[in-house]
Amino acid sequence: MKIMRLKIMLITYGVGFLLFFGLLVFVALFISNEDDSSGRNYSDMDGVGSVSVSAGVLKHRPMVEKYAKEYGVSEYVSTLLAIMEVESGGRLIDVMQSSESMGLPPNTLDSEEASIKQGVKYFADLIQSAGSKGVDGNTVIQAYNYGGGFIDYVAQRGKRYSFDLAQSFAKKHSGGSKTTYSNPIAVKKNGGWRYLYGNMFYVDLVNQYFHSPQFDGDLVQLVMDEALKYEGYPYVFGGDNPNTSFDCSGLTQWSYQKAGINLPRTAQQQYDFTEHIPLSEAKPGDLVFFHSTYNSGTYVTHVGIYLGDNQMYNAGDPIGYADLTTAYWQKHLIGAGRIKQ
């Protein structure tokens, strides 16, 4: 009986090693092939930033766009394509590996369209839940792998994703759940291997497919050339184009888009999309964020374009320049945000 138990343990540890080694190989292959001619590096500039995915995934973009529009998450097409790349690389019928989100065994859905429809619907449900609980975008990405319980977990622990939270959630659920939303990952601990729930590296695996441009003087000039056209326009809540005028995030989204940079729509989403830095480290072209300027139900309520020397350009009322050293802006200041590289 002891020999049999030993055999089972050896098999289990061996499988765990292969799974973990396979993950390392996957990441290494992506890095080494990033600039090759194997079909990668297809740019999707219609979503949040630029995403580089395989031809096998890119062919599903029209279907993803169709259901993203149906479920109200069109601004997340790039994210959904990156998720698909991680889940299947476009090579499986259940292309978004969404069977499990319906409580079904893996690869149960029998058509690519059914998988995409369910995957997008599931993602949209996670977005809605995240919005109601005030958590960030990376929490939603990890929740696609872990399940919606991760959103509650993060909401109770500061409302911002971290790898430590992903790891602790995995440890908490290891060995106790029949639904993992992904193959388990084996990690080494105390000289041996053990399984963890889901894939705690999921956010990094998805985000590696995103590439955003580096700001430079010319790019900042393109943004400001567009934004300055609307100096003196009135602030219009919900406005996102010159025909309606703009609200704060509508102005930043429109102006940056003219420079080839696709930002999400709201101030909170733009904050979640950027790398957070103190204002003292901000450079012209970064965004600057504020809280509690009105009751919006989100932490971040206002955004402007940082110009340097504690000056910003923003959709106040009217649209124009503002001095960040004034008592009002200092009271509400969160900090700056840099578009991720």
- Tens digits of residue pLDDT in 144-169: 999 999 999 999 999 888 989 998 99
pLDDT, mean of residues 313-334: 93
The predicted-structure confidence for 168-202, as pLDDT tens digits, reads as follows: 998 888 754 333 334 444 344 444 434 457 888 89
Q: What is the average pLDDT value for the chain, to the nearest integer?
A: 80
Residue 283: which domain range? Answer: 212-339
223 within 8 A of 232, measured Cβ to Cβ: no
Residue 253 is predicted with a pLDDT of 97
Beta bridge partners of 312: 306, 322
Q: Which of 207-211, 322-326, 332-336 is the least confident region?
A: 207-211
Tokens of 10: 């050896």
Is 193 in the same domain as 308? no
224: CATH: 3.90.1720.10
Say yes or no: 237 and 205 in one domain: no
- Give the single-character DSSP code of 125: H
pLDDT attached to residue 306: 94
Work out the number of other CB atoms within 10 angstroms of the CB of residue 189: 10
Count other C-beta atoms under 10 Å from residue 64's C-beta. 29
Structural domains counted in the chain: 2
240, pLDDT greater than 90? yes
Active-site annotation holds for 207? no
CA distance 30 to 150: 27
Mean pLDDT for 35-61 is: 56
State the Cα–Cα distance between residues 76 and 88, nearest whole angstrom: 18
Is 199 catalytic? The answer is no
- What is the C-alpha to C-alpha distance for residues 221 and 48, in angstroms, rounded to an integer? 21
Residue 152 contacts residue 316 (beta carbons within 8 Å): no
Is 242 in the same domain as 169? no
What are the strands of the beta sheet with 50-53, ordered from one edge? 42-44, 50-53, 210-211
Same domain, 199 and 315: no
Rg for the chain, CA atoms, rounded: 22
Q: Do 98 and 109 meet the contact criterion of CB atoms below 8 Å apart?
A: yes
Q: Are residues 44 and 71 in the same domain?
A: yes
- Residues 293 and 286: beta-carbon distance below 8 Å: no
Handedness of CA 260, 261, 265, 266 (dihedral sign): negative
- What per-residue confidence (pLDDT) applies to 22? 43
> Which residue among 210, 225, 248 closes a domain?
210
Could you tell me if residue 195 is inside a domain? yes
Residue 33 lies in a domain: no
Backbone angles phi and psi of 322, in degrees to 5: -145, 145
In this prediction the pTM is 0.52
Residue type, 273: F
Residue at a domain's end among 210, 233, 263: 210
**Predicted confidence band of residue 216 (pLDDT cuts 50, 70, 90):** low
- Specify burial of residue 322 (Cβ count, 10 A radius: 0-12, 13-18, 19+): middle
Residue that terminates a domain, selected from 210, 235, 263: 210
Q: Please indicate, yes or no, whether residues 202 and 245 belong to a single structural domain of this protein.
A: no
In this structure, is residue 32 part of a structural domain? no
Catalytic residue among 145, 173, 199, 248: 248
Write down the pLDDT at residue 50: 58
pLDDT computed for residue 175 by the predictor: 58
The answer to whether residue 5 scores a pLDDT higher than 50 is no
Same domain, yes or no: 227 and 161: no
Is 33 noted as a catalytic residue in this protein? no
What does the longest C-alpha to C-alpha distance in the chain come to? 82
For residue 135, the Cα-to-chain-centroid distance in whole angstroms is: 12
> Within a 10 A sphere around the Cβ of 15, how many other Cβ atoms?
14
